[in-house]
């Protein structure tokens, strides 16, 4: 996945499954056992650090939940009760209207 990001593609991690099946744990993990997202972020920033002298990088993230056909922005707590709408751009394809996209400036630190 990081190889695709370094080739200029947008990348997405998608977890699907029954409620209580471990999706959140698999994605985020714990301090002592990091999940997929912290591991991928650390790999991404390790590669950025090693290539920083020859290339400029921009990293942006969004984090959403789709539950009972409602889309929620998990990076914007003020929109907790607001369902977002999935739209389709004629050239860019599907997107979520109003979904937060935040710039990431440094390596993820596990709390």
Q: Domain for residue 111, yes or no?
A: no
pLDDT value at residue 26: 92
Task: Choose among 53, 57, 63: nearest CA to 13.
Answer: 63
Q: Domain for residue 109, yes or no?
A: no
DSSP 69-84: TEEEETT-GGGTT--B
- Tell me what the mean pLDDT of segment 75-98 comes to: 87
pLDDT value at residue 87: 94
Q: Domain for residue 92, yes or no?
A: yes
Q: Tokens for 108, please give them.
A: 């993820």
The parent domain of residue 42 ranges over 2-104
The better pLDDT of the pair 20, 79 is held by: 20
Domain with residue 78: its CATH number is: 3.40.850.10
Number of domains in the chain: 1
Of the pLDDT bands very low, low, confident and very high (cuts 50, 70, 90), residue 106 is: low
Q: Domain for residue 110, yes or no?
A: no
SS (H, E, C) 13-66: CCCCCCCCCCHHHHHHECCCCECHHHHHHHHHHHHHHHHCCCCCCCEEECCEEE
Q: pLDDT digit string (tens) for 22-81?
A: 998 998 899 899 999 888 888 888 888 887 677 777 888 888 888 888 899 988 878 777
pLDDT value at residue 96: 92
Task: Name the one residue in this structure whose structure tokens are 């921009």.
Answer: 58
């Amino acid at each position: 996945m990081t190889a695709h990001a370094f080739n200029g593609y947008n990348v997405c991690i998608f977890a699907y499954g029954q409620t209580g099946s471990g999706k959140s744990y698999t994605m985020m993990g714990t301090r002592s056992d990091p999940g997929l997202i912290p591991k991928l972020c650390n790999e991404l920033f390790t590669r950025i650090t090693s290539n920083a002298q020859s290339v400029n990088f921009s990293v942006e993230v969004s984090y959403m939940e789709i539950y009972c056909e409602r889309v929620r922005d998990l990076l914007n707590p003020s929109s907790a009760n607001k369902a977002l709408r999935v739209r389709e751009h004629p050239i860019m394809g599907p997107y979520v209207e109003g979904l937060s996209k935040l710039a990431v400036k440094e390596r993820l630190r596990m709390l």
